[in-house]
Amino acid sequence: MKRLFVLLLVISVIMAFSVETLVVSSRLWTPPTEKEFILNEIIKPFEKMYNVKVVFQTMDDETMLKQVKVQMETGKITTDVIIAYATKMPEWVKNDLVVDLTPYVNKWTDRHFSKGFDSMTVFDGKRYFLPVGADVYLTLINKKALQYKPANVDIQNLTWEQLAEWANLVAQGEGEGKFAVTGVPMKSLIYQIGAISLSYGGHWPNLDNPGAVAAWYLIYKMKDAFSPAVKTYDDTRPPMKREETWMTVAHCARVGEVYKSNPTQFIIAPAPKGPAGIGSVAGTSGLAIVKGTKHFDIALKFLEYMTRPDIMVKSHKGTGGFIPPVDEAIKYLGNDEQDQVIKNAIKVMNQGVLSYIAPIWKDWGQVKLVYDELFKKMILEEGKLDVDMLELYQLQIDAQRK
């Protein structure tokens, strides 16, 4: 009897100290600095608030999807919450892998998700994903470039023609180009050129339309403005931080990180505009709960916590300057460096000519490679605008349609 009493006591002690564990897999916040901030400043308070343990793991969209499919097929579901990119969301819904959150979210009266992302996160009137971490492109200028700025150029209201002229003057004055794009294949070049194409009315990512040709003509005119080391850049942050390059148009959170590193040396602005307006590729990631999770209640609490307007602003400011896609978040913005990044990004989102990666591609990486190869061959090597080459590469893009 005494042994039984001791055993029951041990069990009760273990249960008293056992902590429920929530497994969250995310394609967002993969850079080490971003992940560290989310773990320490956002997730730890949640763990303390609800006395739970959160295992936060980052991985690419395809790996995350395959992993959960296997868990579903084997009946061993260990992932509770996922954060997926907009382009992948239809596959999650189509394969019946995530929970319809509509009846739960409708009770949250203190937040309204930005309508601009409904086309990506709501399917057949049902909200499966809660948008988080939206992004657009912004302009970043090192003040060293100001000595070459053409007269009457308003940095906060730049046109692509003005930026190209300015970048060329910098190159002439310094003896080498100081404009940064990602020249390493499979990075963000397609989005940087996409911003130009959209501002000229192009049907991005297609190449066989007047807007796209106008964009490539502008890039051709900037052929001497790119940094000599541009083919080694897989990210524009390091050369901008090293001040090896002075100008770029890049992802808002990456721009925010550079700006935060030395706000007295940099100027941020919306992406430049063209005849059609401010062009930018936009996107968002989304939170969802995996069907069959054994931890549904705490998973729902996690989603409710992560999408609180004040938490959205805190997490998005701390990770560089993503756009919080909750309308009520704006009132939590102030006037510090990261607030300025987010305000500029919101301006692009609200006023810009936007496009996003539609879920129509067999292999988006192959589409990205078309832009990488065109830039390398046509601009950096041959230094010309070749419309026939654009039409030829369009065939490769067409071949990737589902």
Kindly list the averaged pLDDT for each block of 10 residues, start to end, along the chain of length 402: 54 60 96 94 98 97 96 97 95 97 96 88 96 95 98 96 98 98 97 98 97 98 98 97 98 94 96 97 95 98 97 94 92 91 93 91 95 98 96 97 92
**Is 314 within a domain?**
yes
Q: Are residues 207 and 225 in the same domain?
A: yes
**Residue in the block written with tokens 């959209």:** 198
Closest-CA residue to 168 (of 160, 159, 177): 177
Q: What is the pLDDT of residue 337?
A: 86
Q: Are residues 50 and 75 in the same domain?
A: yes
**Backbone phi and psi for residue 284, each to the nearest 5 degrees, phi listed first:** -150, 155
Q: What total number of domains does the chain contain?
A: 2
Q: What is the pLDDT of residue 196?
A: 98
Encoded tokens for 151 = 């007269």
Q: Are residues 143 and 263 in the same domain?
A: yes
Q: What is the pLDDT of residue 119?
A: 84
Q: Are residues 277 and 248 in the same domain?
A: yes
Q: Are residues 222 and 326 in the same domain?
A: no
What distance in Å separates the CA atoms of residue 30 and residue 371, rounded to the nearest whole number? 24
**258 lies in which domain range?**
138-281+360-400
**Is 1 within a domain?**
no
**Is 28 within a domain?**
yes
**Is 238 within a domain?**
yes
Q: Are residues 104 and 89 in the same domain?
A: yes
Q: In what order do the strands lie in the sheet with 130-135?
A: 52-58, 20-26, 81-85, 283-289, 130-135
Question: What CATH number is associated with residue 338?
Answer: 3.40.190.10
Could you check whether the bond before residue 272 is cis, i.e. omega within 30 degrees of 0? no
Residue 213 DSSP one-character state: H
210 Cβ contact partners less than 8 Å away, ≥ 6 residues apart? 200, 201, 202
Q: What is the pLDDT of residue 13?
A: 47
**Is 4 within a domain?**
no
Q: Are residues 239 and 385 in the same domain?
A: yes
175 φ/ψ sector (left φ>0, alpha ψ -120 to 50, else beta) = left
Q: Are residues 76 and 209 in the same domain?
A: no
Encoded tokens for 15 = 């249960």
**Is 10 within a domain?**
no
Closest-CA residue to 236 (of 182, 281, 191, 164): 182
**Is 3 within a domain?**
no
Q: Are residues 299 and 377 in the same domain?
A: no
User: What pTM did the predictor assign?
Assistant: 0.86
**Is 15 within a domain?**
no
Decide: 268 and 262 in contact? Cβ < 8 Å.
no
Q: Are residues 101 and 193 in the same domain?
A: no
Decide: 11 and 4 in contact? Cβ < 8 Å.
no
Q: Are residues 178 and 243 in the same domain?
A: yes
Closest-CA residue to 240 (of 225, 223, 256, 224): 256
Q: What is the SS3 assignment for 400?
A: coil
Q: What is the pLDDT of residue 338?
A: 87
Q: Are residues 201 and 290 in the same domain?
A: no
